């Protein structure tokens, strides 16, 4: 997420999380805290003490709803800065999902929990919830098999989902498996852990899993509904 300032307006590089439009925003509040000791938002890498935490509230000029952005900023002596978004709420990219067509509460609850994890910068929690939403969808659609891999392929064999949709589902499954199953741990001879694939998951990984899940849900629920509407209209025209 980033806002650029132009003609006294703030333009976001992501759509409004409420109306899903690329509109301009008004800055309503900006509070800056100067951090000199470790806090809950103290991180790693380049954010050495001291640094700033910016709390900002923007209002979309299209729908008049708010979005909260919290950024961590480090200013260096030569004038350069490093910044990172550590919380964005609501999270953009999910406003366009037609929840009425999905309906199933287990799918929606896990999707919503995953989005809340994204907003709280918790990629591992997000990925596990997206994987749960995927499997609930696959089972609801009638996927059969001993595991999620076989259940997804079963939907494809039954022509319930298309080939590209199967690929998308397997990508979400692959991310989610790192958290849903006992992961492979590399242990050194002295007994210390050498590797842990689950710990390597990043927020960008969770975003990719979220995008793939949304594509799968649209293909599983929204696309068939649109086709049904078109078929109904064609039948009406034929009768006329």
Give the burial class of 97: count Cβ atoms within 10 A of its Cβ; 0-12 exposed, 13-18 middle, 19 or more buried: middle
Over range 194-214, report the average pLDDT.
73
pLDDT tens digits for 109-142? 998 888 888 877 788 888 889 989 999 999 988 9
CA-CA distance, 95 to 226, in Å (whole number)? 18
Residue with the bigger pLDDT between 234 and 209: it is 209
pLDDT tens digits for 166-182? 888 888 888 877 765 54
**pLDDT range class, residue 42, cuts 50, 70, 90:** very low
Residue with the two structure tokens 């989610």: 176
- Rounded to 5 degrees, what angle do the CA atoms 27, 28, 31 make? 95
For the CA atoms of 204, 42, 58, 208, the dihedral, rounded to the nearest 10 degrees, stands at 10
CA-CA distance, 51 to 82, in Å (whole number)? 10
- Where residue 43 falls (left for φ over 0; alpha for ψ -120 to 50; beta otherwise) is beta
Q: What is the mean pLDDT of the chain?
A: 78
Contact 108, 99 (CB under 8 A): yes
CA-CA distance, 172 to 54, in Å (whole number)? 33
- What CATH number is given for 99-239 in this structure? 1.20.120.330
**Has residue 228 got a pLDDT over 80?**
no
**Which pLDDT score, from 0 to 100, does residue 144 have?**
92
CA-CA distance, 12 to 2, in Å (whole number)? 6
Q: Write out the two tokens for 26.
A: 């008004």
CA-CA distance, 1 to 100, in Å (whole number)? 28
pLDDT above 90 coverage of the chain, percent: 9
**Which pLDDT score, from 0 to 100, does residue 162 have?**
84
CA-CA distance, 108 to 90, in Å (whole number)? 16
Domain boundaries, the chain: 3-89, 99-239
pTM of the model: 0.64
């Amino acid at each position: 997420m980033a806002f650029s300032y132009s003609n006294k307006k703030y333009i976001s590089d992501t759509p409004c999380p409420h109306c899903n439009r690329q509109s301009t925003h008004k800055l309503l509040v900006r509070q800056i805290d100067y951090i000199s000791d470790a806090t809950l938002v103290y991180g790693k890498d380049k954010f050495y003490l001291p640094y700033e935490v910016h709390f900002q509230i923007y209002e979309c000029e299209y729908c008049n709803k708010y979005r909260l952005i919290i950024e961590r900023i480090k200013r260096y002596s030569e004038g350069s800065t490093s910044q990172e978004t550590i919380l964005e709420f609501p999270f953009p990219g999910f406003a366009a999902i037609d929840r009425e067509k999905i309906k199933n509460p287990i799918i929606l609850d896990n999707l919503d929990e995953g989005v809340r994890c994204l907003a709280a910068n918790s990629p591992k929690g997000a990925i596990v919830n997206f994987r749960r939403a995927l499997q609930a969808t696959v089972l609801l659609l009638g996927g059969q098999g001993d595991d999620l891999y076989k259940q997804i392929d079963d939907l494809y064999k039954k022509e319930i989902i298309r080939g590209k949709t199967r690929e998308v589902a397997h990508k979400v499954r692959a991310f989610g498996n790192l958290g849903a199953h006992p992961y492979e741990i590399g242990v050194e001879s002295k007994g210390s852990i050498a590797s842990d694939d689950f710990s390597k998951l990043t927020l960008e990984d969770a975003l990719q899993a979220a995008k793939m899940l949304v594509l799968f849900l649209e293909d599983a629920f929204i696309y068939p509904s649109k086709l049904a509407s078109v078929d109904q209209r064609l039948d009406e025209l034929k009768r006329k």
